[in-house]
Chains A and B, each alone.
Chain A
Amino acid sequence: MIGILDYGLGNIRAFANIYKSLDISHKIITTNKQLVGIKKIILPGVGAFDDAMVKFNESGLRDNVEKMVLNENVPILGVCVGLQMLGHSSEEGKEKGLGWIDANIKIFDTLNIRHSTKLPHMGWNTIEIKSNEELLFKNLNNKDRFYFLHSYYFKCNNSDNSIAQTYYGDNFTSAAKSNNIFGVQFHPEKSLINGEKLLYNFSQL
């Protein structure tokens, strides 16, 4: 059973729609009770970093999710701001991140972006997959496209945690991993067939 965390932020329904069409059992989680029996967790996120952290802390879900992820090794996938929440801090706000992956969130340097559209980084971009062994990317290819929408990026302090990168003025981490903790900067739930494959792969880990 996949649990999609609903802490008041994000396009929860888009994930549920995909898992429903793939016939994979899933549940939208708003209470700790609903976390019982959850084998995988999706941490969605749309909007601003501080807002996401405050809402997640206030949801009352954090302690239990933390236990499941850090002590019981339940796989978790952070998406967009959900990825950024996995880091220590963000230039977008003052709140502390979860700190589950050794990373900090920085704003893109627009001086490096040559076209007149600067931020947010919006649209379909390619990902460069660093290892073919990574099961999250099974049946996906290098240079496959995903939909991005963000102005801040996830800067891993340990490059081993970066499992895919994308170019926007410079290369940045578009997917990260630390043991059972995964995150993607793009929106798999809005990336057509490539996104479906990734969400399917996550469900099969």
Chain B
Amino acid sequence: MLHPRIIPNLLIHNKGLVKTVNFKSPKYVGDPLNAVKIFNEKSVDELIITDIDASVKKLEPNYSLIEKLAIESRMPLCYGGGINNVNQAKKIFSLGVEKVAISSAAIENPTIISQLAESVGSQSVVVVLDVKKKIFSGNYEIYVHNGTKKTGLNPLKFINKIKKMGVGEIVINSIDYDGTMKGYDFQIIDQIRKITSLPMTVLGGAGSLSDIGELIKKYSIVGAGAGSIFVFKGKYRAVLINYPNNKEKMELIKKYMKID
């Protein structure tokens, strides 16, 4: 039986690993390479690594770091940050990465999605949408550049537009819930789940394994992404790389997943 994926989401800023709250105040939590080694030993389902400086500063992806990260990864690795053309994606693939994530590039020029799908296969094209709820209307809006730039785009309309263009997976990242550890933003996840059957990974808000459990209970097959809970321990948020062991993971899935 297929299982949901529990995915640590790692952010790279100034060459270090950081964790943010509401996409702000990055806190240094360690060395990315070391973290990937530990997550590999802990047998994680998958990893998402995002360079949060690259797109904002218009930098090329840091290929030498990506190469080192890929060498350590015995699990699927998704890299995002600074990718805006097919050649960059191909180069990242050649270093041993399975999935490339694009965000601002997809929003500025959605045809890049089909170009990427043609060259690396749609299963490897991940579109990340950073979303924030509008205060008055309650509708959601897509942001880019680490939550600093509004796009005026509604995530549902955007997904409807791109879902046939060759995207293999959609990552929904809630700016409002990022780092808050109060549980996932089910309102937007529900809305998006209704309009697409593509694999979906959600980020933002997981504060405990039971938060992940609630997500699994609702959607069975889903990517449960999280940052804080896998890098912090305890109420003082001491830095400690952690991940449920196989037994804990099986128990969590058994407890929450509806078996069909």
A and B associate = yes
| Contact of B141 with A by CB under 8 A | no
Instruction: Known contacts A47-B121, A117-B222, A123-B45; decide if A190 and B3 are in contact (CB<8 Å).
Output: no
| Contact of A18 with B by CB under 8 A | yes
Q: Mark A99-123, 1 if CB is under 8 A from B, else 0.
A: 0000000000010001111111111
Contacts of B193 in A (CB 8 A): 116
Contacts of A126 in B (CB 8 A): 1
| Contact of B220 with A by CB under 8 A | yes
Contacts of A118 in B (CB 8 A): 197-198
A191 → chain B, closest Cβ, in Å?
Answer: 8
* Contact between A17 and B96, CB atoms less than 8 A apart: yes
Instruction: Known contacts A17-B71, A149-B76, A190-B98; decide if A120 and B199 are in contact (CB<8 Å).
Output: yes
A122 to B45, CA, bound (A): 11
| Contact of B200 with A by CB under 8 A | yes
Contacts of A193 in B (CB 8 A): 43, 74
Residues A11-42 near B (CB distance < 8 A): 11-14, 17-18
* Contact between B95 and A13, CB atoms less than 8 A apart: yes
B76, closest chain A residue (CB):
A190
Interface residues on A, range: 35 or more
* Contact between A147 and B199, CB atoms less than 8 A apart: no
* Contact between A13 and B94, CB atoms less than 8 A apart: yes
A186 to B211, CA, bound (A): 29
| Contact of B260 with A by CB under 8 A | yes
Contacts of B221 in A (CB 8 A): 115-117, 123
Interface size on B, residues (CB 8 A): 38
Instruction: Known contacts A17-B96, A48-B121, A192-B75; decide if A123 and B2 are in contact (CB<8 Å).
Output: yes
* Contact between A117 and B121, CB atoms less than 8 A apart: no
Contacts of A13 in B (CB 8 A): 70, 94-96
* Contact between A147 and B2, CB atoms less than 8 A apart: no
Q: Mark A146-171, 1 if CB is under 8 A from B, else 0.
A: 01111100000000000000011000
B95, closest chain A residue (CB):
A13
* Contact between A124 and B123, CB atoms less than 8 A apart: no
Residues B159-180 near A (CB distance < 8 A): 168-169
Picked from B1, B124, B197, B198, the residue with its CB within 8 Å of the CB of A125 is B1
Contacts of A145 in B (CB 8 A): 3
* Contact between A17 and B75, CB atoms less than 8 A apart: no
Q: Mark B61-77, 1 if CB is under 8 A from A, else 0.
A: 00000000011011110
Report B's interface with A, CB cutoff 8 A: 1-5, 40, 43, 45-46, 70-71, 73-76, 93-98, 120-121, 123-124, 168-169, 193, 197-200, 219-223, 260
5 pairs of A and B residues whose beta carbons are closest in the complex: A47-B121, A13-B96, A118-B197, A115-B220, A117-B221
CB-defined A-B contacts under 8 Å, sample of 15: A14-B70, A14-B98, A47-B124, A110-B197, A115-B220, A116-B193, A122-B5, A123-B3, A123-B4, A124-B2, A125-B3, A126-B1, A192-B75, A193-B74, A195-B74
